[in-house]
């Protein structure tokens, strides 16, 4: 046990919800690590388990009596799943914070933005008086680039523009200098021009504070821009994982190919159609047998139909790096398909 633990280590995280319709297997056996100063991108469709994973790290499923979370989550050498509610609560918003997707619904409509930031600060700094907390909040608003922070402090969320609102949300998340910042689709609800500003802001703040960032998104462009490492999730499982550059240059999973193929690109003829991933995401209550992706996979029939029966494990992709993939196709065949069939169409 000489090797030190990474700042964040998630081991075999499994999250399920018991509902009237059956057990929802939202996340199955996810493992990943993240160091300070690094950014992990989690990519996948809606319902792939990416948001549930991040809420799990924050321990936000604890208030849901029908949620069952197993595995290990180590943050700065503390295990969080077995920790008490109170302990996790104190870490939440302090050491680890989250930026949500839609800042209008994620901010309370009846409290001023300023008071919500003050509240976040004071809960982790109980000794601090209101005036100091207020100064801190205004400081943060200024830091994230909100003009006239003293005045905006007293405004409500609905009085902010979309981009300013997301900045305020970021100010609220960062007010306690979190070492782990989880951003759940932080730019999805924003205009494209504002998206870029927000991503720049997150990157700048990360450099400034040296925090670890988990960036959850379905936008591969965002990941390409920010992430050091990428996880691709499908049906609650990690199906591909590796350094961002590797995953983008040599994607290994047919689903990742599909994601890349459905990304619009400026350098392509506008008359070329995008190639979407056919079919719909699987039901998490009733996952397909074998590889969860096989009903949508054009290559599922290859390699002796194993995809229909055996669940592929996340293994070395055979590229001589830390790149992992969960696919039954042999590495050579994958490379061949990618080079000959996928790449020319990207």
Partner 1 sequence: MVAYLIRRLINAVVTLLVVTLVTFGVFFLVPKATGSDPALLYIGKQADPVAVEGIRTKLGLNDPIIVQYWKFLKGIVAGRDYANGPDITHCSAPCLGYTFKTNQEVWPILIHALPVTVSLAIGAAIIWVLMGVIFGVISALRRGSIWDRSVMTIALAGVSLPIYFTGLLALTIFVYGLEWLPNADYTPFFDNPVKWFTGLLMPWVTLAFLFAATYARLTRANMLETLGEDYIRTARAKGLKERTVIGKHGLRSGLTPLVTVFGLDLGALLGGAILTEAVFNLRGLGYWALNGIRTNDLPTILGVTLFAAFFIVIMNLIVDLLYGVIDPRVRLG
Residues that bind partner 1 (CB under 8 A): 55, 58, 60, 63, 89-94, 97-98, 100, 102, 105-112, 119-120, 123-124, 156, 158, 172
Shortest Å distance, C-beta 196 to partner 1 = 24
In whole angstroms, the minimum distance from the beta carbon of 215 to partner 1 comes to 16
Helix (H, G, I), strand (E, B) or coil at 302: coil
> Which one-letter DSSP state was computed for residue 69?
E
**Least CB distance from residue 143 to partner 1, whole Å?**
18
For partner 1, the closer of residues 94 and 243 by Cβ is: 94
The smaller minimum CB distance to partner 1, of residues 184 and 246, is found at 184
The residue assigned the tokens 């976040």 is 120
Residue 127 C-beta: closest distance to partner 1, Å: 16
> In the bound complex, what is the minimum distance in angstroms from residue 123's beta carbon to partner 1?
5
Assigned token pair, 114: 């300023």
Rounded to whole angstroms, the Cα distance separating 52 from 238 reads: 13
Tell me whether residue 110 or residue 320 sits nearer to partner 1 (CB atom).
110
Burial annotation 217-248 (CB, 10 A radius, 16+ → b, else e): bbbbebbebbbebbbbbbbbbbbbbbebebbb
123 vs 142, beta carbon nearer partner 1? 123
Q: Of 88 and 325, which has the nearer Cβ to partner 1?
A: 88
Question: CB of 86: closest distance to partner 1 in angstroms?
Answer: 9
Q: In terms of CB distance, is 2 or 63 closer to partner 1?
A: 63
Sheet holding 78-79, edge to edge: 22-34, 8-19, 67-75, 78-79
Strands 39-43 and 229-234, by their bridges, are parallel
* Count of beta carbons in the 10 Å neighbourhood of residue 344: 7
Please provide the distance, in angstroms rounded to a whole number, between the alpha carbons at the two ends of the chain: 45
């Amino acid at each position: 046990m000489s090797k030190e633990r990474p700042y964040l280590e998630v081991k075999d995280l499994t999250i399920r919800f018991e509902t009237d319709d059956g057990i929802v297997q939202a996340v199955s056996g996810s493992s990943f690590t993240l160091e300070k100063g690094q950014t992990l991108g989690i990519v996948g469709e809606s319902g792939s388990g990416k948001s549930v994973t991040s809420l799990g790290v924050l321990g936000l499923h604890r208030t849901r009596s029908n949620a069952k979370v197993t595995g290990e989550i180590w943050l700065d050498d503390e295990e969080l799943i077995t920790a008490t509610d109170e302990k996790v609560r104190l870490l939440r918003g302090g050491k680890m914070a989250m930026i949500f997707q839609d800042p209008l619904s994620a901010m309370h409509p009846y409290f001023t933005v300023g008071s919500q930031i003050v509240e976040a600060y004071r809960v982790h700094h109980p000794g601090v008086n209101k005036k100091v907390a207020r100064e801190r909040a205004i400081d943060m608003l200024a830091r994230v680039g909100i003009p006239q922070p003293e005045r905006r402090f007293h405004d409500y969320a609905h009085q902010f523009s979309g981009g300013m609102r997301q900045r305020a949300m970021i100010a609220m998340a960062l007010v306690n200098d979190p070492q782990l910042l989880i951003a759940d689709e932080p730019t999805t609800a924003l205009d494209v021009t504002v998206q870029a500003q927000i991503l720049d802001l997150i990157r700048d703040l990360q450099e400034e504070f040296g925090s670890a960032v988990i960036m959850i998104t379905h936008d591969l462009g965002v990941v390409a821009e920010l992430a050091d490492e990428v996880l691709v999730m499908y049906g609650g499982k990690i199906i591909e994982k590796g350094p961002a550059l590797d995953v983008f240059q040599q994607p290994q999973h047919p689903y990742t190919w599909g994601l890349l193929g459905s990304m619009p690109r400026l350098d392509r003829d506008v008359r070329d159609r995008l190639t979407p991933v056919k079919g719909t995401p699987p039901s998490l209550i009733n996952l397909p047998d074998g590889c969860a992706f096989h009903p949508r996979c054009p290559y599922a029939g290859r390699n002796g139909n194993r995809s229909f029966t055996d669940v592929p494990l996340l293994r070395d992709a055979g590229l001589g790096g830390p790149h992992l993939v969960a696919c039954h196709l042999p590495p050579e065949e994958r490379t061949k398909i990618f080079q000959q069939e996928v790449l020319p169409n990207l």
